């Protein structure tokens, strides 16, 4: 009987711990990954590999370093025209996501900059806000 109670106690505490850490961990820490899956992965793929010469890769892309200061605006407002990534030309338009706020864009950027084998510096919300301020005239409303 005693063993059973002890077991129950352990189980309960593990469950409680898991529930608690979810509040701090899952929802916010993974927001970048969740948003990436929702808004970016359809084209750039789950592993950031892109699609042949149609959609540029994010994995190992020099563009992420060379255009670091433009990325927040590209996510918010999209992009058209030819771009060069790792020496290759790409010309598929990217849609913008105007409803994403600076915090969400920061999380997406940090996910992209530190995954798929990328190891680039992270962004702060302040840095992203500063970038978005430069392209605020593009906002439709």
Which residue from 31, 33, 34, 43 is in contact with other proteins, where contact means CB under 8 A?
A: 43
Which residue from 4, 52, 137, 141 is in contact with other proteins, where contact means CB under 8 A?
A: 52
Of the pair 20, 54, the CB lying nearest other proteins is at 54
Concatenated DSSP letters of 7-58: HHHHHHHHHHHHHHHHHHTHHHHTHHHHHIIIIIHHHH-TTS--BTTTB---
Stretch that binds other proteins, among 21-29, 36-44, 61-69, 124-132 (CB under 8 A): 36-44
Q: How far apart are CA 139 and CA 28, in angstroms?
A: 26
Of the pair 53, 66, the CB lying nearest other proteins is at 53
Q: List C-alpha distances in Å: 139 to 52, 58, 87, 122.
A: 31, 25, 31, 25
Neighbour count for residue 105 (Cβ, 10 Å): 25
Does residue 42 interact with other proteins by CB under 8 A? yes
Stretch that binds other proteins, among 17-25, 51-59, 69-77, 110-118 (CB under 8 A): 51-59
Does residue 45 interact with other proteins by CB under 8 A? yes
Tokens of 36: 């990436």
Please report how close the Cβ of residue 28 comes to other proteins at its closest, in angstroms: 26
Neighbour count for residue 104 (Cβ, 10 Å): 19
Where do contacts with other proteins occur on this chain (CB under 8 A)?
A: 41-43, 45, 51-55, 91-95
């Amino acid at each position: 009987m005693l063993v059973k109670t002890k077991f129950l106690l352990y189980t309960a505490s593990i469950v409680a711990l898991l529930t608690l850490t979810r509040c701090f961990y899952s929802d916010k820490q993974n927001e970048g990954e969740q948003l990436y899956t929702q808004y970016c992965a359809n084209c750039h793929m789950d592993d950031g590999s892109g699609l042949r010469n149609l959609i540029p890769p994010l994995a190992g892309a020099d563009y992420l370093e060379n255009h670091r200061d433009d990325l927040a605006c590209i996510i918010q407002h999209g992009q058209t025209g030819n771009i060069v990534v790792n020496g290759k030309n790409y010309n598929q338009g990217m849609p913008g996501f105007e409803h994403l706020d600076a915090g969400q864009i920061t999380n997406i950027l940090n996910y992209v900059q530190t995954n798929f084998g990328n190891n680039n510096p992270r962004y702060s919300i302040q840095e992203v806000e500063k970038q978005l301020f430069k392209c605020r005239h593009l906002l439709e409303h």
